[in-house]
Structure 1
């Protein structure tokens, strides 16, 4: 058994200093990290506990421009149920409540949710020798193996794993920004640039530097409080990862779409912003034909594997349904509904 050291950080500066030690990793709620350690996928030499840092990392508050700041240590359950989130950003509430179990939401943090790793079984099970994400250069076992839940968009010959986060899909549709602290000070990362597509380095999930700490997620002023919906399609109704999910937010001028924000989950290595569908809907009256046309155009770039070809049609239909529900004013009584 390898020895693991532990340090509790009480401020950001101490945390940033400790993380520079070889083999050091941050631990917050630990709901993903502990699983990875148990399976031998990740073998840290030092745990840097950040749960006792103050400095607003565990609070939610408004920004000067009317937006919202959610501290990185805010629990998923607290974020989902906070009045400012429920009233201004119901899309985020729906996505958070669709993810994991109540027990996990009570432990998991917003920052940790952003950093969680794929649930691809070839990554999680060290008995499989081929996984470029776990062992760079070893190959992708999923391509020749079982890949029903894997990527149909943005994948590469090196990796077809998908990002597992529900929260991140909603954040992508909401144009969130991730605030991080490092040795050189703070910087802001647009959510669209935070997660990476696999390319030839699938072992690198995000653009966060190894010596940086997420301190907050910042949201622009509410724009879709009245016309938003998160749809999660999964094999069972609770505690399951998405086969396909859709976060949809609309601004309507009568029946015409003045702004459409759509992001997909369960289909790519990162939350997939459906910019093609958004452009095709903007400025047009909503109709079933228009929606189907836009959804089909978005999925034209899909490259499914033999076991997940069904995801193409599923994603198209999910876009149509999520946008239709959002246009009706959301469906808070069916958070995380399945089809």
Structure 2
């Protein structure tokens, strides 16, 4: 049995100091991902710093956020997924967030999982979780077993020779679609990172899932109010009805003019890349147009020009196109879905 040092600091600053000063230390919140990796031997930290009881568990109104309205919600990093999905303000003003959360995991896990931890969960690639196989994400330089192996879940956008895995979070995809920001506390103080910039593509460093530095702790997520956020939705295609990760997922927020044309569209895809994929080219194609099926399919195909597929992953481009049409049609016709 591997021995661990367990610490439970009294405040966030002490937690940051404990982890930043120890290269083998890790934060522990809900533990729904990390504990699995401890059991599998994927993670082998020397110290666990428990942040689950720190007072970061409130959903608060704020009035000084960037965005068209300046108002929004500040979500503490320890807010449980089930509580966030049930919050009336989230359901009314950010329905895409509530729906994404309810699409993830199971009721029991949502009761345990935290907002910050959900964003930092690691890939469910079968080779990453099997310590008997080569994996550049788990052991840099050993190779990528997913290339030439079971590839049905592999990325079709933004992959590299080093890694073809995808990011598993439903919440992260929804937050990317509403221009959310994460608040991060580190040894050098507090900073804010747009969710779109939190995760990174694999490049030649697939072991680095995010742009956070060692010892930086997510303390909150800020959701700016916007007309599009209120008209937002989420769709997740998966192999079974519950407790399954996305084959592909689509989060979208739509702001329409009085004539039905698009003022602003925000589209994010899950299950297709190492990070939530903001479909910015598709968004630009839709601006000023009525988002009917023909226009949406054309915009999605522009975004997918960079996709790389094989016999196992070709289905993803078809699936994400159809799912994007479905979500935007629902938003165009009747609002949140």
What TM-score bracket applies, with the shorter chain setting the length? over 0.9
Q: Who is 2:246 aligned against?
A: 242
Please say if residues 244 and 265 of structure 1, whose CA atoms lie closer than 8 Å, have aligned partners that are also in contact.
yes
Q: 1:52-101 deviations in whole A, cap 9, x for unaligned? A: 212xx110111113111000010011111111111111110000100110
* Partner Cα distance (2:265, 2:71) in 1: 21
Q: Which residue of 2 aligns with 1:185?
A: 189
Out of 197, 202, 205, which is 1:198 matched to? 202
Q: C-alpha separation between the residues in 1 aligned to 2:168 and 2:286?
A: 27
Q: Distance in 2 between matches of 1:111 and 1:180?
A: 10
Q: How much has 1:263 moved relative to structure 2?
A: 0.3
Partner SS state of residue 255, structure 2: strand
CA contact (8 A) 2:158 2:273 kept: yes
- Given the alignment, which residue of 93, 102, 121 partners 1:97? 102
State the 1:192 CA deviation: 1.2
| Alignment check: 8 A CA contact 1:173 1:262 kept | yes
**2-side partners of 1:77 and 1:21: how far apart?**
32
Contact 2:250–2:323 at 8 Å: present in 1 too?
Answer: yes
2:280 counterpart (262, 275, 280): 275
Higher mean displacement: 152-161 or 224-233: 224-233
Cα displacement (A) at 1:331: 5.6
Q: Which residue of 2 aligns with 1:147?
A: 151
Q: CA deviation at 1:300?
A: 1.2
Which of 134, 157, 162 is the aligned partner of 1:158? 162
Distance 1:305 1:210 in 2: 36
CA change 1:3–1:147 in 2 (3 A) is same
- Residue among 219, 222, 230 paired with 1:215: 219
Question: How many angstroms apart in 1 are the aligned matches of 2:229 and 2:143?
Answer: 44
Q: Which one of the candidate residues 77, 88, 101 is aligned to 2:93?
A: 88
2:31 is equivalent to residue 26 of structure 1: no
Tell me, in whole angstroms, the C-alpha distance in 2 between the residues paired with 1:291 and 1:320: 6
TM superposition score normalised by structure 2: 0.95
Instruction: Report the TM-score, using the length of structure 1 for normalisation.
Output: 0.95
- Would the aligned equivalents of 1:168 and 1:271 in 2 still touch at CA under 8 Å? yes
Task: Tell me the distance in 2 between the aligned counterparts of 1:96 and 1:284.
Answer: 30
User: 1:226: how far off?
Assistant: 4.2
Question: Structure 1 stretches of 5 or more lacking a match?
Answer: 333-339
The equivalent residue for 1:312 is 317
State whether structure 2 residue 117 is matched by structure 1 residue 112.
yes
SS of aligned partner of 2:236 = strand
Correspondence for 1:71 = 76
Pair 125,293 (structure 1): closer, same or farther in 2 beyond 3 Å? same
Of 254, 268, 292, the residue aligned with 1:263 is 268
User: Greater shift after overlay, 29-38 or 290-299?
Assistant: 290-299
- CA–CA separation in structure 1 for the residues paired with 2:28 and 2:230: 36
Q: SS in structure 2 opposite 1:261?
A: strand
Q: Aligned residue for 1:47?
A: 48
> Which has the larger displacement, 148-157 or 11-20?
11-20
Superposition deviation, residue 180 in structure 1: 0.4
Query: What is the number of equivalent residue pairs in this alignment?
Result: 329
Aligned match for 2:333, one of 322, 325, 328: 328
> Alpha-carbon deviation of 1:225?
4.6
Distance 2:121 2:291 in 1: 36
Q: Is the 8 A contact 2:92 2:230 kept in 1?
A: no
TM-align CA RMSD: 1.1
- Deviation per CA, 1:169-210, whole angstroms, max 9, x where unpaired? 000001011100011110011111100000000000001110
Please give the secondary structure, in 2, of the residue aligned with 1:171: helix
